[in-house]
Chain A
Amino acid sequence: MSVAKHINVLDYTLLSLSRRKFKNITIILVFTFVIFITGSILFLTYSFKREALLILEGAPELIIQRMSAGRQELMPVSISGEIMRLAGVTKVEPHHWGYYYDSLVKANYTVIAGDGTLSKNNRLLKGRLPGDRDTHVAAIGRGISKARFADLDGIISLQSTRGSLMDFKVTGIFESDSELLTSDLIVVGLSDFKELFDIPEGMATDLIVHVSNETEAPVVARKIRELFPYTRPILRNEILRTYDAVFGWRSGLILTLFAGALVAFIILAWDKATGLSAEEKKEIGILKAVGWETSDILEIKFWEGLVISLTSFFCGIILAYAHVYFFGASLFSPALKGWSVIYPDFRLAPFINLYQIVTLMALTVIPYIASTIIPSWKAAITDPDEIVRG
């Protein structure tokens, strides 16, 4: 078969598509919307999961918290010595962190003391972290910097638990592969932290336990639980699984919310797959009668399906990308981010998983092309005589 024949058939396909502008544009719009929703969910879910992975990449294998009546309480640092004596433990260090509600911007900030426990993925965009002995200085996330109009060397004021106002000079602003992690972050010196939250001496928020062999972490956790029954050891893998489950569940929730659109699309595809309109059947009959082969008709239908589905797919994916990474998934981020809506706005790092895209394409483009070709094939193998007679 020559190239000229395929060009002619392609030319006819474009003519055919332009003849049914309204119908085809409607299909493209519905198809694009479905891809946009599905693509947005995929981008958002995987970006969140990736953010979670980035957060945990530099995190310790084991965190120990003190529990009382099912709630977290301050942990006495004094038990560190006993934990250090356990086989496999290489280091135990206190960790000081807390949430600060900023009524000015109606957002929660995460406040951390010192720099020792920060993830290795966090880098300062500009400036420096507070030194060990620095007081009244802070490094802040970009979200806070924007919300409080505080750039480098600016001043950010926080109200302490006792009610006094504490001024912090901004010495650094974070950049990170994960804005989710650092957007709402404030790092201050240990003494400032204790003053801000009124933490008694010898107490920490939790303890961080480093082990020589990561696979031994569950054993160490069990021993700590036996020694100190009021503690709750949290393994890094447990946090990872929780993130996975939470974001997986949330994406399922969004899919349910938009199930109507998916159902509409499935009905549209089903309608196409189960039959052609009388006009379409007649056209196939005419083409057959004047000498088109069945394979020529299938070629037109293939190109038609490909043009419509690929146009919709790429429009939907591009819109989903822009929606998630440029507009913060504003359409359904409240449902996906959950409690994090109380954070200042943050921007997700653009991330594309090619495997996901190809899978989504396979699950939408191929069924659509099949739903275009199959009924046409049924019509094309019928005697043209029957179709032309109607």
Chain B
Amino acid sequence: MKEQIITTENATKYYNKGKANEVLAVSGVSIDIVRGDFAVLKGPSGSGKTTLLSLIGCMTRPTSGSISVEGRDTSHLPERFLTDIRRKTFGFIFQQFHLIQGMSVLQNVMIPLYPTDISLAVLGRRAEVILENLGMSKRRNFPVQGLSGGEQQRTAIARALVNDPDIILADEPTAHLDTALSKEFMSLMKEFRDKGKTIIIASHDPIVFENENIDLIVEMRDGEVKNFTKHG
């Protein structure tokens, strides 16, 4: 039996709770994701999938309910422990890529590991290997603002992989890509899944949630899980 890597129990998240602009982003979500799953959080804009991804990725805490990552309840952990989990367990691919402008591709890829004991030389070599695997080594010294959309995304993927995470989280990764690049992205994710990574993608793009390699689709609407489909 496969190990549960992410478990949410009745997870609820309010933004600006108690204020006039209070928003209930996620309401009573309970899901299980097992190690090696290729999961998609599916739903229209405002359905709560990005917030759920943030909760899973320890980027914010639930207002109520609980989130467990690799068997550890992260709902009430102090910030420094959450930071440690983010660095060691997760690789993030953001919708807008969120690369740091003015830095080269290589420097952007190295960012997650700067505040670690790994020397700059080792760090650089590790980032170069990942860029090579993603076909980006020729662009390693380019400033990221000069890259195409596809190249920016590959850089973001390389950054997400540099710490060799168990779980890759991607938020609307194909939103700024054409069909060919979107399919290429999904192939890359499959490769990582085949290498043992757990992939969780929030998307409302059919190229993503209709992909044949998806193991699990969590369909969301108005902050709630409406449907939970397990393949294979």
Instruction: Please determine whether B114 and A12 come into contact, CB atoms closer than 8 angstroms.
Output: yes
Tally of contacts, chain A with chain B, CB under 8 A: 94
B103, A383: Cβ atoms under 8 Å? no
- Which of A108-116, A170-178, A287-295 touches B? A287-295
* B60–A383 CB distance below 8 A: yes
Q: Name which residue of chain B comes closest to A286, CB basis.
A: B98
Q: Give complex CA distance A7, B88 in Å.
A: 21
The residues of B that contact A73 with a CB separation of less than 8 Å are none
- With beta carbons under 8 angstroms apart, the residue of A8, A383, A385, A386 that contacts B115 is A8
Question: Which of B3-11, B118-126, B130-138, B202-210 contacts the other chain?
Answer: B118-126
A285's closest neighbor in chain B, by CB? B98
Contact check, B117 vs A2: say whether CB atoms are below 8 A apart. yes
Complex interface: chain A residues within 8 A of B49 (CB): none
**How far is A7 from B159 in the complex, measured between Cα atoms in Å?**
20
CB distance from A55 to the nearest CB of B (A): 57
Q: Which residue in B59, B101, B115 is a CB contact (below 8 Å) of A296? A: B115
Interface presence of B213 (CB below 8 A): no
Contacts of A384 in B (CB 8 A): 59-60, 86
Within 8 A of B (CB), among A368-390: 381, 383-386, 388-389
CA distance in complex: A324, B159 (Å)? 53
Report yes or no: B114 in contact with A11, Cβ–Cβ below 8 A.
Answer: yes
Kindly state the separation between the CA atoms of A290 and B100 in the bound complex, as whole angstroms.
12
Contact across chains for A288 and B83 when beta carbons are under 8 A apart: yes
- Contact call A385/B59, Cβ cutoff below 8 A: yes
- Is B100 a contact partner of A291 (Cβ separation < 8 A)? no
CB distance from B224 to the nearest CB of A (A): 19
B residues near A4, Cβ cutoff 8 Å: 116-120
Q: Kindly identify, within residues 287 to 312 of chain A, every residue whose CB is under 8 Å from any CB belonging to chain B.
A: 287-294, 296
Question: Which bracket fits the contact residues of B?
Answer: 35 or more
B47 at interface by CB-CB < 8 Å: no
Whether A19 sits at the interface, judged by CB under 8 Å, is yes
Contact between chains at A381 and B79 (CB < 8 Å): yes
Pair B103/A282 contact, Cβ less than 8 Å: no
| Contact A7:B120 (CB < 8 A) given known A286-B98, A381-B79 | yes
**A5, CB-defined interface residue at 8 Å:** yes
**In chain B between 57 and 90, which residues have their CB closer than 8 angstroms to a CB of chain A?**
57, 59-61, 79-80, 83-84, 86-88
Closest A residue to B169 using CB positions: A289
The answer to the question of B94 belonging to the interface, with a C-beta cut-off of 8 Å to chain A, is yes
Are B86 and A291 interface neighbours, CB within 8 A?
A: yes
Is the CB–CB distance between B115 and A292 below 8 Å?
yes
* Contact B92–A289 (Cβ < 8 Å): yes
Q: Bound state CA distance, A217 and B9, in angstroms?
A: 91
User: Is there contact, CB below 8 Å, between B117 and A290?
Assistant: no
Flag whether A283 is at the interface (Cβ < 8 A). Answer: yes
Please indicate which of the listed interface residues A8, A279, A283 has the most CB atoms of chain B within 10 Å of its own CB: A8
Q: How far in angstroms is the closest Cβ of chain A from B20?
A: 18
Q: Is B107 an interface residue (CB 8 A)?
A: yes
Interface centre among A7, A9, A289, A381 (most CB of B within 10 A): A289
**Which of the residues B94, B101, B120, B163 comes within 8 Å of A8, measured between beta carbons?**
B120
Residues of chain A at the chain B interface (Cβ within 8 Å): 2, 4-5, 7-9, 11-12, 15, 19-20, 279, 282-283, 285-294, 296, 381, 383-386, 388-389
B residues in contact (CB < 8 Å) with A:
50-51, 54, 57, 59-61, 79-80, 83-84, 86-88, 92, 94, 98, 100-103, 107, 111-120, 123, 159, 163
User: 19 A-B pairs, CB-CB below 8 angstroms?
Assistant: A4-B117, A4-B120, A5-B115, A8-B114, A8-B119, A8-B123, A12-B114, A19-B101, A285-B98, A286-B98, A286-B111, A290-B86, A290-B87, A290-B111, A292-B87, A293-B80, A384-B59, A385-B51, A385-B60
